[in-house]
Amino acid sequence: MHIAIIMDGNGRWAVRRGLPRYEGHRNGALRVREITEYCAKIGIEQLTLFCLSSENWKRPELELKFLMDMLKHYLNEEQPNLQKNNIQFSVIGRQNGIPDDIIEKIQECTNLTKSNQGLKLCLAINYGARAEIVDAVKKIVQEKIDVDSIDENCITQHLYTKNMTEPDLLIRTAGELRLSNYLLWQLSYAEIWVTETCWPDFNENLLNKAIEDFKKRKRNFGGI
């Protein structure tokens, strides 16, 4: 089973408590560890988390700096946990705008865990689905693939997620009812589950609730 999550509501969680927005991100990072380890424990095959969209660069500079610092801290601190829990780590998204030291740390974590056989954890960082599709089209053009050979499989194999299965379940926190330019191609037949709970308050019980709801749904993939 592949679960994709839009981790929304960190800033709102903090504002409602009279805290700076970065405190919402700090607490949200703790949920990333908790939910990731729980997914590994219960046998989820793939977990893809929307961490930073390509549109998030419009946010205040101080908040962006905190997000980058927190990402670097996460990559440093989580390496032992990734190994302990047999988690394979990867990142999708464009690298432009990401500091070089963070890119190096991402590559280090990716290489360190590439042989792990448990949960596949993917972080979407500086990610936008439309940009991903544009990049896929550019690759196809550069490879001079014959037009008659271009089909859905061809495009899928040129996406950032070419080595991943498509998500079965999309979870969005904080009650918003939109995809926000997230995995537009891959989510075509995913089941969607939304909670009003902001990401810093999301927990194992809510994840179980989403999974149980998913199991009750009938997936026809366009058929009857």
Q: CA 57 → CA 14, 16, 52, 65, 94, distances in Å? A: 20, 23, 9, 10, 13
Whether residue 220 is predicted with pLDDT greater than 80 in this model: the reply is no
Q: Mind giving me the DSSP string for 120-189?
A: EEEEEEEE-HHHHHHHHHHHHHHTT--GGG-SHHHHHTTSTTTTSPPPSEEEE-TT--S-TTSSTTTTTT
Establish whether 208 is a catalytic residue.
no
Whether residue 221 is predicted with pLDDT greater than 70 in this model: the reply is no
Full 3-state SS string of 56-89: HHHCCHHHHHHHHHHHHHHHHHHHHHHHHCCCEE
What percentage of the chain carries pLDDT values higher than 70? 98
Whether residue 224 is predicted with pLDDT greater than 60 in this model: the reply is no
At 32, is the secondary structure helix, strand, or coil? helix
Q: What's the mean per-residue pLDDT of the chain?
A: 93
Tokens of 180: 């926000």
Establish whether 56 is a catalytic residue.
yes
Tokens of 209: 């609730």
Strand partners, 48: 4, 122
Token look-up 């709102």 returns 12
- List pLDDT tens digits, range 53-65: 877 777 777 777 8
**Of 56, 116, 181, 203, which residue is the catalytic one?**
56
Alpha-carbon distance 201 to 13, whole Å? 8
Q: What is the fold, at CATH topology level, of the domain defined by 2-128+166-216?
A: Undecaprenyl pyrophosphate synthetase (3.40.1180)
